[in-house]
Amino acid sequence: MKKILIETTAKKMLADLYTPVGIYLRLRDRFRDTILLESTDHHVAENSFSFICINAIGGIEVQSSDKAEFKLPGAEPQKVALAGQKIEDVLYNFLQRFEGTSNDPKVAQFAQGLYGYCSFDAVQLFETVSFKKDGGNETAIPLARYRLYQYVIAINHFKDELWLIENKVDGVESELALVESLIRSRDLPVYPFRAVASETSNMTDEDYMEMVRKGIQSCHRGDVFQIVLSRRYQQSFIGDEIAVYRALRNINPSPYLFFFDYGDYKLMGSSPEAQVIIRNGKAVVHPIAGTFRRSGDDAVDAQAAEDLLKDPKENAEHVMLVDLARNDLSTVCKDVNVAHYRQVHYYSHVIHLVSEVVGTVPDGTNPFAVLAKTFPAGTLSGAPKYRAMQLIDAYEPTPRSYYGGAIGFVGLNGSCNHAIMIRTFLSKNNTLYSQAGAGVVAASKPESELKEVENKLNALKAAVKLAETLS
């Protein structure tokens, strides 16, 4: 197989006059296929980057368990039958079609790879599990979608630098001068947003608590030790949903902020949790389990954190999911260990317990295979994971679609950084969809799990209200 050569160039600029959102707003109307990724963790040098990607020149889209479509630079899209192939191999084989060169490999790595996502329902491509509910509903989107972008603007907030990166491929015309001109432009097109009618849900409060009771019974029967059961909300709107993203990043700053525009649908979120990170030969998973609501009062929140560390139900759930993360990584990694255990992390509306599980990735490992083995996160499914997913499909009234999936980047160099799609909106057909779940164990109380779901969605609900005031 002849590889497609990518020559990656980079131009350095000062970033002191620019913001990622400002650059994105200037570019999105001129170029198709635009995405924005940010992190609020700017105090850490290696995690201080924001990225704007524009103009997809290649990509792969998995529409169903047996059908995919891929496009190479300068070529027409090609439909392919998966015919029982492992999807992690299909994705990796597509990634391997490209070979990158650059005079600045350290900067080029940000553009030499694929940006995209796997939905929760894509687990059927990674595992033998199958769901009875199909995706033919209002939240249906491709199971997986990854793209190679012609331009990536990388902003290093730690050093106040901006890199304008271009992937040059034979047959693809360069518009680098136009991109730079738009970055420097003072025009900032902003449009209003307004929610329409009232928010609705796919179940009532009592329906959700009844579902939790079924989950508790499943735990007592020994079907599962824990199961994550979720509830979906939907909100109609008119206008520009980028305002909701702007509000969300302000209300709920998180390590993973993202806005992926696919034209007929968009994914935007403020996720606190990584699915998996592969960097320098190490794979890292951060199980987040155990949740208390924040009050806004420092003293009260400090006491809540102490109570969280002592809560037997929340801690049992956390231990279970740390073990699950260890087991997942152990299938593809060596020397798996728990680097950090049960640390208290404060977020805008909740307090979480967070651990860190690390493993060594053997040379030449397919990064999509590591993603597959950790997918979906135990914190979004349960334990044992396989049976929990079967019960989720049986108990929840609608397919999860994007919720609980993973979104991020996979590099030609084998790196990977994906966030779990929680605290996330799907925007489709002028409707915002949001979803959250709670970990159900034998000791769970339905009212408490309902409250946990509400607490997790508070930031998203507040973002919709704030977005109506932005212009």
Q: Are 72 and 94 in contact (CB under 8 A)?
A: no
Rounded to the nearest 5°, which phi and psi values hold at 190? -130, 135
Which two tokens mark 165?
A: 């990166």
Active site residue 286: no
DSSP secondary structure letters along 454-468 = HHHHHHHHHHHHHHT
Give the Cα separation of 126 and 145 in Å (integer). Answer: 15
3-state secondary structure of 399: coil
Estimate the crossing angle of helix 205-221 against helix 446-467, to 10 degrees. Answer: 140
Q: Which residues contact 294 (CB under 8 A, 6 or more apart)?
A: 301, 304, 346, 347, 348, 349, 350, 351
Q: Are 229 and 444 in contact (CB under 8 A)?
A: no
Which two tokens mark 216?
A: 């508790």
Active site residue 423: yes
Which two tokens mark 120?
A: 């929760």
Give the Cα separation of 89 and 429 in Å (integer). Answer: 33
Largest CA distance in the chain: 65
Active site residue 379: yes
Active site residue 290: no
Least Cα distance to 420 among 458, 453, 380 occurs for 380
Q: Which of 115, 347, 403, 433 is catalytic?
A: 403
Q: Do strands 161-168 and 67-71 pair parallel, antiparallel, or not at all (unpaired)?
A: unpaired
Give the Cα separation of 404 and 119 in Å (integer). Answer: 7
Q: Which of 34, 139, 374, 379 is catalytic?
A: 379
Q: Which of 147, 232, 349, 423 is catalytic?
A: 423
Q: Which of 58, 359, 414, 439 is catalytic?
A: 439
Which two tokens mark 178?
A: 């136009």
Which two tokens mark 33?
A: 């296929």
Q: Which of 246, 249, 352, 418 is catalytic?
A: 352
Give the Cα separation of 126 and 270 in Å (integer). Answer: 26
3-state secondary structure of 406: strand
Q: Which residue has the tokens 């329906």?
A: 207
Q: Are 24 and 52 in contact (CB under 8 A)?
A: yes
Active site residue 100: no
**48, burial (CB in 10 Å: exposed 0-12, middle 13-18, buried 19+):** middle
Q: Do strands 98-102 and 4-14 pair parallel, antiparallel, or not at all (unpaired)?
A: parallel
Range 227-247 burial, b when 16+ CB lie within 10 A, else e: bbbbbbbbbebebbbbbbbbb
Give the Cα separation of 457 and 453 in Å (integer). Answer: 6
Catalytic site residues?
A: 352, 379, 403, 423, 439
